[in-house]
């Protein structure tokens, strides 16, 4: 399993939501932009730490779903999503 961090830069997000179809942890936030909700996944019981500020959403996960996160980032036409592995 990998420990990785997902970041959504809110100033770059246009609310196109291509990420939602690649990874169900991405959802539409109250502000109309993409955010991350580990509980939104209907299939996997997912644990993650999510910090949502005015500038960005940062979520850290320790599971084997980094490829889904990378697919969501690649689908974002505004490059608002970044995925990076975290070494402890």
Which pLDDT score is estimated for 48?
81
| Short-list 74, 58, 63, CA closest to 41 | 63
Confidence band, pLDDT 50/70/90 cuts, at residue 88 = low
Determine the structural domain holding residue 34 and report its residue range.
Answer: 2-85
pLDDT digit string (tens) for 36-77? 998 888 777 777 899 999 999 999 999 899 999 999 999 999
CATH of the domain at 9: 3.30.70.20
Q: Specify the number of domains making up the chain.
A: 1
pLDDT at residue 87 above 90?
no
């Amino acid at each position: 399993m990998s420990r990785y961090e997902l970041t959504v830069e809110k100033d770059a997000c246009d609310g196109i939501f291509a990420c939602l179809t690649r990874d169900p942890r991405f959802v539409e936030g109250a502000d109309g932009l993409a955010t991350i909700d580990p509980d939104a996944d209907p299939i996997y019981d997912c644990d993650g730490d999510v910090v949502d500020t005015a500038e960005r959403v940062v979520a850290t996960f320790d599971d084997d779903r980094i490829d889904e996160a990378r697919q969501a980032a690649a689908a974002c036409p505004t490059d608002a999503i970044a995925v990076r592995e975290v070494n402890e």
